[in-house]
Structure 1
Amino acid sequence: MFFLKFTKKENLIVLKLTNYEGHFKIEPLYPGWGVTIGNTLRRVLLSSLEGYAIYSVKIEGVDHEFATIKGVKEDMTEIILNLKKIRFKKKMEQMEKEEDPGEKFNIIINNEKEEITAGDLGEYIHLFEIINPDLIILNKNKFISLNITIVIKKGIGYVPSEENEKHINTEHINTEHINTEHINTEHINTEHINTEDGTISMDSIFTPIKNVKYTIENCSVSKNSTYERLFLEIKTDGTINPKDALIKASNLVIRHFKLLSNKKISLNYNKKYKKKKPTNENYFKLRNLLNSSLERKNLSVRTLNCLKKAKILTWGDLIKSNTTNLLNFKYLGKKSLEELDLIMKKLTIYYGMNLEDYNKNKNKNKKKNKKKNKKNI
């Protein structure tokens, strides 16, 4: 069978491989499988691979993200944008250790350098390797010193600052002189937790994948040219090798499909389960309308008086009539009928409307109320 041939190692060929870019060729594929595999891998690569990013930042003397820092060219917003671009890679010796909720690092910059780069911060971030050390974070005066605290976390995809702000722990509150045992964390306002001690939540770009492209070409197998060849291009930020990224994404897909390939799949069928009929909101609206008085819809006095004489008091009474019957009533002329037609169109009701379902439900409710009254007696 063709699918047995697909399991050979020669099916995947590496055309180009660097720390930042990888080009791969997969062939032969059964007709239609190029899109299936290419699109699946692309979506998983872009959305589901883990990475590291700064979760929150605190600079001593800065209260909020729009503040300016004396002796620093950039304001806090620009500094945050630059910090967001730093790409982190966990050092090999730390890989096997258990992950903490977040790695906190205190960085003290008291050198005479005017241009501070990501590499200068990296001297204090001993658990991680910074892939882009030349990235400029800020420009300052020579004799200005800065005390920066950052928290680096592991995550997936992109997480906005608002989401990170919700999960800032009470650790970020300055608890050096506070007995935290007696603090009721339920009453802490997490919306403003980042401004009380200067801890500012940031947008976190965890995904290590920058871009994924795939193209499909026809290829021939045993003189059959309907088979397909898949070309896959993967660009990363350098924190993961493109080949490793492809392997991780493939394993993620395999693990999820293994859940469906298990022969011992058990069907949890509950006999007592019955589908509930969806509640019809239109029915309740119609019921309230039919029972409501005609006076509520601002009908003219002349039309109302004529309808009252004919013992038509509600909209339910009106739709049971027709135009020929109404014309027989005194003083109800064409203008009054036109007035009624306009309002009835707005209310989506009409003469001779079928009220069988309404009456059935009405009778059911009456019976239920009678039973309840008997029980109460």
Structure 2
Amino acid sequence: MCQKSKGFYKIFNNFDTMISMLTRAELRVLSVLHEPATLKELSGQLGVSRSRLSIIARSLEQKGLIERQKDGKEILLIPSSSKPLELFHELLTRFPHVNFISLLAGRKLKVIGGMAVEEPRPVWEISLRSNVNRYTVHHVLTELMERLIVGKNEKGYFIAERFSLVKEFADEYFRLQNSIKAKSFSHDSVVLWSGVNEFILATRRFRGLAVDSFQLTGPSRFSSYGLSVISGGVYHYYWPSREITLEEVIVHTLAVGAGARELLYVVTILKVKGFNVERLRRLAIKFDVLGVVDEIIEYLGGKEKGYPFPSRDEVEELCRQYFGGPENDNEGKIG
């Protein structure tokens, strides 16, 4: 792909993920919307013009946080029954002294989404999980530490137990946004893994290898690497990406199911095609499958593993069937 195309896709993907972030103006509206209210009423209460409030309301409706209805000549705004909105109002009630309208806006919420409660994570891992650059992560963490929402020790940064509701809100918010995006891809989509502005879905509709920023992934994608797998009528897609690597396909496969069948296919394709161990392990951390990935690396290095790992004979048979036979060394090509 040429540099110009790469630049375009980067801009496209940034725009696609930016639209699901919450703004201060949106959070301010949500903070006062506890029951149905008209645009006129909220406009006077917030000191915001109706035209501006109408734009904010449309955005909140797209994010599944409010509903809009006609009430005569007026537009009625109704708070949704969504979990994120319930948690947001609970946060405001439990911690009235904390300015959550500022702390949950923009990339700050993404950083929170990349963290864990009382489980220290280094900056590079928070950056990896939140899809935010390290400079921004450092900046956000400093502010959160000043508010005592985040703590730090020698292993990294963590969300204080007292503010676990903040993490719950972030997770539920991104899960809602991911679900809305998944349904726009296919009405029967089910989100199997949800991260910060990224997800893996399952659908019974095959839409091709790539559709906009959706990439076919999981076992069905193994055919791109010479290993045809019967899908069972279910297909997995990852969003957002314009390209996908073998390491990503492997980790996505393990994230949605690491049974005996999946391990046989994964071990075989890594044995034949080879892989970048550092890239595979970093992705495994993000998708919470590092344990099984390390076991796979050990297996490919010659260490015996019991069930659900396949026997060496099973791997060699699959290699002969699809790739004309293994190199008979029982080891993968680790790059």
TM-score with structure 2 setting the length: 0.22
- Bigger-Rg structure (1/2): 1
TM-score with structure 1 setting the length: 0.20
Q: Which structure dedicates a bigger proportion of its chain to helix?
A: 2
**Structure showing greater relative contact order (alpha-carbon pairs closer than 8 Å, 6 or more residues apart):** 1
Q: Which structure dedicates a bigger proportion of its chain to strand?
A: 1
